[in-house]
Amino acid sequence: MHDRRLTPMEHAVQFPRHALSLAALAAVSSLVLTGCGGGDDGDKDGKIEGAQSSKGTPKESVTGQTGDGKGEGEKGERGDFRTSDIKLPADIDLVFDWQQPSDPDKAAALSGAADYMRALRHGTVKQDPKDPVLARHTVPLQSAETYATTKIKMDVDDGYTLTGKERFYRENVGDVADGRLVEVSFCSDQTDFFGKEVKGGKVLRTGKSPLNYTHLSLVMQKPTKATDPWKARTLEREGKAVKKCKE
């Protein structure tokens, strides 16, 4: 955090706004899926067809829990973003104002997206860019992992951790493409989310700013084993997303 006016999300590697959305991934799938970093989920099919977004309609506010939860749901059949086994400190509150999809794959993909954000924060708290929790929720050598590890490393190098409340809302969950990929997009509001010095515990409070609003799109990848979580594959990020995210 070289500039203390930056929010925790802004203090990170900046990927271009067009970085590997599901549509882009479909266009270059034969290279992306069989090239470097296919991951441990065994990508075999080089084509992805029928990528189509499907808007979720938020109805009720649901608080995401950071304590002990069931994570992927009973027998791994269905995800639930409201529960997770990723533990965060009591002074970090990640709130997911999302609606639970009825489709099991979409629900699991949304749960995976929530756990990616939890794992990203977990890595900073643990001061470990190679945090095993993060590794469990990302496809190796893809942009979602690169973004997370780079951001965590910057926090570690600068001696910062996190504190406060971060709110996620306006989720959109796309249709399942190729039986294993789902694009999940959402907004983040960091108005009450701050960096904190690891040594001394000083909280670096910031005022209201366009920097507080971020729009993210993740391509989530279905695991080969039902008991494993959906993993974040690619990430597209738009900072200062006031038009998309300010209510």
Q: What is the mean pLDDT of the chain?
A: 78
Q: Is residue 201 part of a domain?
A: yes
pLDDT mean over 76-83: 76
Domain count, the chain: 1
Residues 6+ apart with CB under 8 A from 150: 12, 13, 129
Q: Is residue 149 part of a domain?
A: yes
Q: Is residue 39 part of a domain?
A: no
CATH code where residue 110 lies: 3.10.450.50
Q: Is residue 216 part of a domain?
A: yes
Two tokens at 114?
Answer: 């929530």
Q: Is residue 221 part of a domain?
A: yes
pLDDT mean over 1-21: 46
Q: Is residue 8 part of a domain?
A: no
pTM (two decimals): 0.74
Rounded CA separation 243/139 (Å): 31
Two tokens at 223?
Answer: 């695991």
Q: Is residue 200 part of a domain?
A: yes
Q: Is residue 41 part of a domain?
A: no
Q: Let me know: does 225 contact 196? Beta carbons within 8 Å.
A: no
Q: Let me know: does 209 contact 239? Beta carbons within 8 Å.
A: no
Q: What is the pLDDT of residues 172-228, one digit of tens each?
A: 999 999 999 999 999 999 999 999 999 999 999 988 899 999 999 999 999 999 889
Percent of the chain's residues with pLDDT above 90: 65
Structural domain harbouring 110: 22-30+61-245
Q: Let me know: does 195 contact 78? Beta carbons within 8 Å.
A: no
